[in-house]
Structure 1
Amino acid sequence: MFISGLGTAVPAQRYSKAECWSAFQASDWFARLGPRAHLVTNAVLTRDNGIEARYLALESLDEVFQIDPDTLHKRFMENAPLLARNAAVKALDQARLAPRQIDALVVSTCTGYLCPGLSGYVAERLDLRSNVQAFDLVGQGCAAALPNFNLSHALLASGQCRHVLSVCVEVCSAAMYLDDDPGVLISACLFGDGAGAAVLSHVSQEFARRIEWLDNESLLNPAQRNALKFESRQGMLRNVLTRQVPHLAADHAHQILDTVMRRAGRDAADIKAWIVHAGGRDVLLAIEKKFGLDPHDLRYSARILHDYGNLSSAFVYFVLQAALADQAHAGAWWLSSFGAGFSCHGALLAVE
């Protein structure tokens, strides 16, 4: 499998941490939450935590405090197909393919639910063929990009498809929830909206660089599912985010790296570029320590986190795009994501 094209998209509106803090202070929610909530939110939004701003599908920050099921569903319905379509168009243009050359579409999201699935809306907006194979993957959280790629790989390997369009789209502002729990508050301050798309092909296309998917591995640990998940309350998604996440992410990601490197007869020192889901700055620091890396090794993940916040499943598309734009050295690249489950995934890429 080869990556033939890559595209990303975000909403038009970008909000800084300072703007978010001011909006929170002026909202009705400020009085509804207790002093501890004020301290937690102030710490996240006014101190250096590796994030400067986020793109949110909101005309103004006042809208973020309208938290009810109908408003949140409408926000997802209006923005998820649009963001997915915009990212996909860029990926198709880069691959020099027409929409009707796509044989399968795999769409991942965890921030909203549609039936029929989001894939139908994306296929309609792109004018894909009526016989396109369409798949919706839900509930995989921030980890979803690699399972998405893995299904695409299977479709290509089966001989049924020549080109598969992979899309991850998250409208995190459509999964907003506030209460006095520190994990909930931190989550509300970390996540941004965005979409990533990749055209995946059976043979190498005329892309800027030749990117081949060589091997991959996954690790699912249901015993730790309560460390990071969505739960439903009052008809809305409430994010559960615990202190265990950085350690779990680093430990699971390291196990997967070791497994794939042993199979490939390689060493982590061979990796030329690290394409890693950040989660947050504490996660990056934990990965850096566990893997014995230098901050420079994770610079692309840190840059995307700083500029966009945590984009959930779409994040690694942005990191891969940043590494390509920077002309990162050819050779072995490592792609990794983790998320709800607790699940973690990794893939070895060969980039020329």
Structure 2
Amino acid sequence: MINPSANGWIDKFFAENQDNFLDFQQNTLSFYEDCRSTGFIYGYVVRYQLQNQIDTSKWSYDEITKVGFLNTLFSIYNIEKSDVSKEDFINAVYQFYKIIQPENLNFIKKLLPEGSYSSRLEKIIDDRIQTNNNTISKNFSHIITNALLFIDILAFEHYLKKQELPTDYLKNIESDCIKIVSLALKIKERKSKYDELLVKLFENSIRYTKFNTIENIELAEIKIIRHTSLLERLYLLDIAQMALWCDEKLELNEQHFLEKLSQDLDLNKIILDKSEKEIYDFIEKYKSEIPFFNYSNPIKHFYDQANKNVTKLIIRNKDRLTKEIKESGELMQLLAKSATKDLSKDEKKKIKKQLLDICKTIPSLTIFLLPGGSLLLPILIKFIPQLLPSAFNENLED
């Protein structure tokens, strides 16, 4: 089982999936359409570009996104390079990121002076999906924050084709994405609560520009002609689809806008129709899971997200956590008591202190050591009784 939060997960991913990768036969359109169905294009990963899927039931969403990001990078590398090896791929990705974020790479090099490229790449991928400043602000966010992560794939494809990356490539592609979103929002006849959330989504996702809705922009002003790659053009069309889909219905002028955009992008009607259908089908299927479409009170959203993450962490570390708790007699008694009664303020303090000591020995539970981590203790206490011996659960007595 891969643990995407522990060192060595990239090597293990390749070791466990060496015969499991999809072969797109150098077909870029096939790769992109499959990538669309994984949800990576939309910023919400639901599956991987693998023949047999990985069990992700015990992973946090960040971990799912990390593996999806690596898998997509490897897929595009497979398309561009005929002689594929894991080592060559990892080296190519590392060299690519040395170009686009040299400051971070220098820091990582100092952090892991003797580390392999794969271990350094793990740090890079972790950094690329962390678009919010810290865990607390990210958990309070209503929306997904990796909507523009596919731009890295576009830049990597360009790097593989040209063996170089212009200094303004990322800024230009990101800027044009933002302009297309602004134009799409401008022509919408019916405004919805999701429009404001969509702006926040892109504000949280951009790295090289500032998001400003541009009131007077026209499609002709966007330099569509500079986007010669099929992947770039397909993605720009889907970005427009994402902006217009929020009210679940395309008005006549919105349809005309998409038709004009697809023409300017030199994409035919079949591709446009498929783009419209696939975003509709994807969101209809996963709407209840995608945070963007589940607007809620910020505090409730934070608690719900923390609840999901902590539950997965507890399940993943069940055996180790149970062993540590058993070795702490007082903690064992207090947790057993918490299963049937409310704890006093002093008892909760004791639980907090002893749990924090335990969390120091289980790295993936260090979320409790972060500022505000104490807010998660009620969630942990809620689930801990399930880990206690059956003697503490009267419902299981004969």
Q: TM-score, normalised by structure 2?
A: 0.28
Name the structure with the higher strand share.
1
TM-score (norm 1): 0.30
Larger radius of gyration: 2
